[in-house]
Amino acid sequence: MSEISTDQLRSMTRELVADMGGDADMAQFRSEQFDRGLAVVQFPPRRGGLGLEPDAQAVVDDELASGGRHYHNLAVNPIGIGMGMPTVLAHGTEEMKDRLLRPCFTGEEIWCQLFSEPGAGSDVAGLATRAVLDGEEWIVNGQKVWTTLAHVSRWGMLLARTDPEQPKHKGMTYFMMDMRAPGVEVRPLFQITGEAEFNEVFMTDVRIPDSMRLGARGTGWGGAITTLMNERVALGGGVPARGSGNIGTLMKEWIGHAPPAGTAAYHVARDRVTRLWIRAELVRLTNLRARESASAGIPGPEGSVGKLLSAELNKELLECAVDVTGSRGMVHTHGYAMVRPEQAGGSGTFDTSRLFLRARANSIEGGTSEIMRNILGERVLGLPKEPQVDRDVPWSDIPRN
């Protein structure tokens, strides 16, 4: 840690908790946390941080937890804090940083990510939503899909095509779109869990001021990479306490429903549970090591390691947890009435059947496991690249459905 010692950081955090007392609500508390640089410690002063190394955040979080004031960023504003704030910090103007960062961190303004389209998911650079400049404003027309939390969001991180005559990676621009602007329509998508946490978003002649452009015109791909790299770390880089999270769910079911001791079924299931425990601990320790060696800045392709390992592991842990419960596991306890989460952090139901069904999405959201393997193969291991026949072709000449 640079000029601020661990002890100093601890006492700064204790002071924050003491000064705010018990009456401040979450937004008030986190607003003060932001102003004192304890929000995202690797961010610069005045922007919620202190310019420290990222691992110093664990010291702050630890003290906040002891003081009963640790709010989980993924529950407060999952897309805004983990992915949006680093993107605005890297590519936004000073005015955008002043306007957007604090209310994002406090959770007063939820953000969503408007990247995927019906014809552009893994190949997001192929997207077709158009933004056309009209004086000092951009006019946006198109459709996005799978947009998590769009229905409660104030800001959408929008990737749109601004120059169709350029090759696909070069003709995009990144914007912050006001989700309350006229012409934005959000429709729910019903999921296997019974929830509708994500949406379709239709944009019809939506006007975005040029001042809400994130980075130079045509450089949207660079901004998108910042968002996606941070997304992979946010989704896969968590370091929960030993034995907590999905392995904790499996252990809870094992303790309650393991087959009778001494039977063949018991030995077989115990072997499976033990192997999963070891893998869960290996992923946790790998993420811990990655966090300790991370330096401030935009995460690299190594972030895909944690994303890939935890996505695949989560599915296996929860499959095993459902198997352990026996025939009870065939019932989705929560039922299928459509629930629309009214805030970030989902519906708050964490029964095993919901976790099992939700985990199916882990190897799709934030980039599929196949795409993670491609990134690791090409950018970490240096294997030959996938052929890209459309890389230098103008987007408008690429055949589409």
Ligand X SMILES: Cc1cc2nc3c(=O)[nH]c(=O)nc-3n(C[C@H](O)[C@H](O)[C@H](O)COP(=O)(O)OP(=O)(O)OC[C@H]3O[C@@H](n4cnc5c(N)ncnc54)[C@H](O)[C@@H]3O)c2cc1C
Where along the sequence are the contacts to ligand X (CB under 6 A)? Answer: 112-113, 115-116, 121-122, 146-148, 198, 361, 364-365, 367-368, 370-371, 374, 386
Token output for 317 = 């842990």
Instruction: State the minimum distance, in angstroms, from the CB of residue 146 to ligand X.
Output: 3
Active site residue 63: no
* CB closer to ligand X, 121 vs 218: 121
CA atoms within 13 A on the CB side of 67: 23
Instruction: State the minimum distance, in angstroms, from the CB of residue 120 to ligand X.
Output: 7
CA atoms within 13 A on the CB side of 75: 7
Contacts of 180 (CB under 8 A, 6+ apart): 154
* CB closer to ligand X, 311 vs 320: 311
Instruction: State the minimum distance, in angstroms, from the CB of residue 375 to ligand X.
Output: 10
User: What Rg, from alpha-carbon coordinates, does the chain have?
Assistant: 22
* CB closer to ligand X, 148 vs 304: 148
Contacts of 338 (CB under 8 A, 6+ apart): 188, 190, 194, 195, 196
- Which residue among 195, 231, 253, 302 is the active-site one? 231
Instruction: State the minimum distance, in angstroms, from the CB of residue 371 to ligand X.
Output: 6
Instruction: State the minimum distance, in angstroms, from the CB of residue 199 to ligand X.
Output: 9
* CB closer to ligand X, 231 vs 302: 231
- Residue facing ligand X at closest CB distance: 121
Element (H, E) at 30: helix 26-35
Exposure of 6 by Cβ count < 10 A (0-12 exposed, 13-18 middle, 19+ buried)?
exposed
- Report yes or no: 169 and 361 within 8 Å, Cβ to Cβ: no
* CB closer to ligand X, 185 vs 370: 370
- Report yes or no: 194 and 358 within 8 Å, Cβ to Cβ: no
Contacts of 156 (CB under 8 A, 6+ apart): 111, 112, 113, 114, 147, 150, 176, 177, 178, 179, 184, 201
Residues designated catalytic: 231
